[in-house]
Structures are given as structure tokens and as C-alpha cells.
Amino acid sequence: MRNIVSTNAGSDVSEEYAEQVTALIGGARADRKTEQGQAFYVRLHSYSAPGTGADRWAVDYHDDASRELEEYDSEAEAESRYEEMVRDAAANVGVDLDGNLDRFDVTDVDGVPGPLPQLPGIGADDVNRLIDARSEEPVMYLERTEDGAGDELTLSIWPAALVSHHQVVLSRSEVLETLGESDGDGGVEEWFSSSDVTEENAFLLEMLVDTAKERRRGAADSLFLPSVDPR
């Protein structure tokens, strides 16, 4: 390994060579990359070495405080170093103000907090479906497609006892409490239904929709946890 650019250790090559390599990778698409915002990235590049034409690989690390550009003669070593840098960075990503995982915007390394899939939309119709669910303590929750193995998310309703509480975005009991309503003492046919919601309480439904939307991110986090959760 040779340091081409290093904030911490200095360069192992001539200034001319460092400038040539920096220009080469600056104008090329990375073979692999992990990025977060505008300030952080780790990228793997392949190129022909200036002067010799030999195959070379470079791992380029950049954050707010430093840049480390390392050159390798071996693709395997460069790949390993790239993944090592990404995993080290992942161990320090932390959480946002809501307690949700900070995630990389782009990554191709397994087991690190990468981007979440699109969160499913939630509207008043979904809250009404929850009100009309006729099971024991129904909840609205997020789940992964393909029986929990898919890369997309969907919104479902199921009894609370069969769902991880981390995935729940809204419960029927919470809806009734917010509306100031309750089920009748008789059978299921006497339960409160969406048709019983008054126009005066329509704004409360929208509040519940907003509540469920705010909880989607945390529910999604629980379904796409990295190998090591920094929390």
C-alpha cells in the first residue's frame, strides 16, 4: 500500500504522481462507493498507473476533517481495505434527533446501515381499515415483502400479539382513545366502525395519520438493522 494523499500520514509518492492519480480518479466513476451527504465518502477505483500503465486500485476516504487516498497493487487487498473503512465508519454513524439510525445514502457493503426502501404511504383510508379490523387488538405495522425477506416495505394490519412492537405504527385501541370512542359490550357487530366517525372528529383522523407517518422510519429501521447496531 502507498499513501497517495494522507491528511494524517503524508504521501509516499511524488507530488506529480499524486496529482496524476487524483486527476484520474476524479474524472472516473468509482467501481464501488459508500456515501453520506456531501462530506463523507469511501470509494474504490481501478486505473492504469501513470507512467507504467500497470493495473492499480485506490481506496479514497473523505470526511469533514481528512482525506486518505491509498494505492494498492492487489485488487483483493483494495477491496478488503474498502470494506474495512466502510465498516469502521458504520460503527460511528450514530442516531438522529428522533433516535433513528443515521444511514449511508449509498453503499454496497453488507451489514452496514444503508438506505431504506421507500416508506409506504399512509392515509385516512388506512386508519379506517384499522378501525374496521375485527381481530383481537389489531395494529397497523410495516413489514418486508416476500415473507420478510424482500427489499421493499408494505403496510399491513394484524393482531398485536403476532407483530413485533418495533414494527407497529398505530394501534386500533390508540385510535379509539384519540376519538373518545369505545366498542359496544355485545359482539363484534357492536364494535365501533369507521362509519361511526363524525365529521367533527375527521381532523382527529388526520392527526392519527400524521402520527403513523412519523413512526414509519423507526419501524423501517427495525426491519433493516445493520449487523452491529451503534445504538
Q: What is the pLDDT of residues 4-45, one digit of tens each?
A: 999 988 889 999 999 999 999 998 999 999 999 988 999 999
What is the C-alpha separation between 44 and 25, in angstroms, rounded?
A: 9
Q: What is the pLDDT of residues 41-61, one digit of tens each?
A: 999 999 999 999 999 999 999
- Nearest Cα residue to 17 out of 51, 44, 56, 45: 51
Among 36-50, 79-93, 185-199, which stretch is predicted with the lowest mean pLDDT?
185-199
- Break the chain into its structural domains and give their ranges: 2-90, 124-223
Q: What is the mean pLDDT of residues 205-219?
A: 97
Query: What cell numbers appear for 2 in the block?
Result: 502507498
Q: pTM of the full predicted structure?
A: 0.83
Position 101 confidence tier, pLDDT thresholds 50, 70, 90: confident
